[in-house]
């Protein structure tokens, strides 16, 4: 993923999880949906760093990291009341307006490519205050001028009930923040360049005069991910955990 000669003692996934953990910041409740191993790592890291069970972390497919007892709808009811502060969404396509597409490309009736489906995005994007978008393939194929299908829009008309939406987009190359209906390049990961980001992004975004490098994970963050988070993550993402963090260690 990174074509870098920089000497590093962490993996790409660890950098991205660390970046997302910083974006989570101080929150009471972070929920993580399906197929989101890097955000799940980040949420568990944020909790391990705080060390006081804050934020509450709900991994939707987990038994241990999931306190819901009223069925799968409880998450959505919780979000509707504003009881979920942070959620993560991705998309087969993401455009410069923050619209995400989890359904298909081409004509909806005769799709060229079919993705799994919108999951909870068409609701959660509106009602979770801090939605962090992530996409580990940063290319003109995925970051497009306009999505072919809007699973959920980045912004809404003034009269539409909306207490949430996107705050940032994290990719394998950089971090964008989202304000005023547009993305702004916030930092570029070590080993990558602003030119490369421009070349591989299909939408227009705001470009500050100076773009800092994304901070790298501290030794303590890496230790927490490898020793505390990895054994917790293995329950839901056995393949990802084995690939990124190596063979299972005894639970911390």
Q: Can residue 251 be called a binding residue for other proteins (CB under 8 A)?
A: no
Cis peptide preceding 55, ω within 30 of 0? yes
DSSP class of 144: E
Spatial CA neighbour of 154 closest among 184, 185, 186, 122: 122
**Least gap, CB of 1 to other proteins (angstroms):** 18
Q: Which stretch binds other proteins (CB under 8 A): 66-74, 129-137, 166-174, 210-218?
A: 66-74
Exactly one of 151, 171, 172, 214 binds other proteins (CB under 8 A); which one? 151
Q: Can residue 88 be called a binding residue for other proteins (CB under 8 A)?
A: no
Exactly one of 87, 125, 176, 245 binds other proteins (CB under 8 A); which one? 125
**Least gap, CB of 145 to other proteins (angstroms):** 16
Assign residue 217 a region: left if phi > 0, alpha if psi is -120 to 50, beta otherwise?
A: beta
Q: Which stretch binds other proteins (CB under 8 A): 13-21, 45-53, 151-159, 187-195?
A: 151-159
**Rounded CA gap, 59 and 39, in Å?**
10
**Least gap, CB of 135 to other proteins (angstroms):** 16
Cβ of 89: how many Cβ atoms within 10 Å? 26
Exactly one of 3, 52, 69, 195 binds other proteins (CB under 8 A); which one? 69
Q: Can residue 102 be called a binding residue for other proteins (CB under 8 A)?
A: yes
HSE toward the beta carbon, residue 13, CA cutoff 13 A? 17
**Rounded CA gap, 195 and 174, in Å?**
12
Beta carbon nearer to other proteins, 90 or 200: 90
Binding mask 157-196 for other proteins (x = CB under 8 A): x-xxx-----------------------------------
Exactly one of 6, 28, 50, 113 binds other proteins (CB under 8 A); which one? 113
Exactly one of 9, 26, 70, 209 binds other proteins (CB under 8 A); which one? 70
Q: Can residue 83 be called a binding residue for other proteins (CB under 8 A)?
A: no
Measured between alpha carbons, how far is residue 215 from residues 13, 42, 119, 174, 188 in Å?
14, 15, 32, 11, 9
Q: Can residue 80 be called a binding residue for other proteins (CB under 8 A)?
A: yes
Beta carbon nearer to other proteins, 5 or 112: 112
CA angle 235, 220, 6 (to 5 degrees): 100
Q: Which stretch binds other proteins (CB under 8 A): 97-105, 133-141, 169-177, 225-233?
A: 97-105
Contact 208, 215 (CB under 8 A): no
Measured between alpha carbons, how far is residue 21 from residues 33, 179, 215 in Å?
16, 20, 12
Q: Which residue is it, tokens 């910041």?
A: 25
Residues of this chain that bind other proteins (CB under 8 A): 34-35, 61, 63, 68-74, 76, 80, 102-104, 108-127, 149-153, 156-157, 159-161, 237-240
């Amino acid at each position: 993923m990174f074509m870098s000669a920089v000497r590093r003692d962490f993996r790409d996934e660890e950098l991205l999880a660390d970046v997302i953990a910083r974006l989570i910041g101080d929150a009471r409740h972070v929920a993580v949906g399906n197929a989101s191993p890097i955000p799940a790592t980040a949420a568990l890291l944020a909790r391990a760093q705080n060390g006081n069970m804050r934020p509450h972390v709900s991994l939707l497919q987990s038994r241990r990291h999931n306190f819901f007892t009223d069925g799968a709808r409880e998450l959505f009811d919780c979000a509707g009341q504003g009881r979920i502060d942070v959620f993560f969404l991705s998309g087969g396509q993401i455009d410069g307006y923050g619209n995400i597409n989890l359904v298909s490309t081409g004509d909806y009736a005769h799709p060229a490519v079919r993705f799994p489906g919108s999951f909870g995005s068409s609701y959660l994007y509106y009602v979770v205050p801090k939605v962090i978008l992530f996409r580990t393939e940063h290319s003109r194929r995925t970051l497009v001028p306009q999505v072919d299908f809007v699973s959920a829009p980045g912004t809404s008309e003034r009269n539409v009930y909306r207490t949430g939406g996107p705050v940032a987009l994290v990719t394998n190359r950089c971090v964008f923040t989202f304000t005023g209906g547009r993305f702004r390049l916030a930092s570029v990961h070590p080993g990558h360049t602003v030119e490369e980001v421009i070349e591989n992004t299909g939408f227009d975004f705001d470009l500050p005069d100076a773009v800092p490098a994304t901070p790298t994970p501290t030794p303590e963050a890496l230790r927490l991910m490898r020793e505390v988070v990895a054994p917790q993550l293995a329950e839901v993402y056995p393949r990802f955990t084995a690939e990124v963090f190596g063979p299972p260690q005894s639970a911390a």
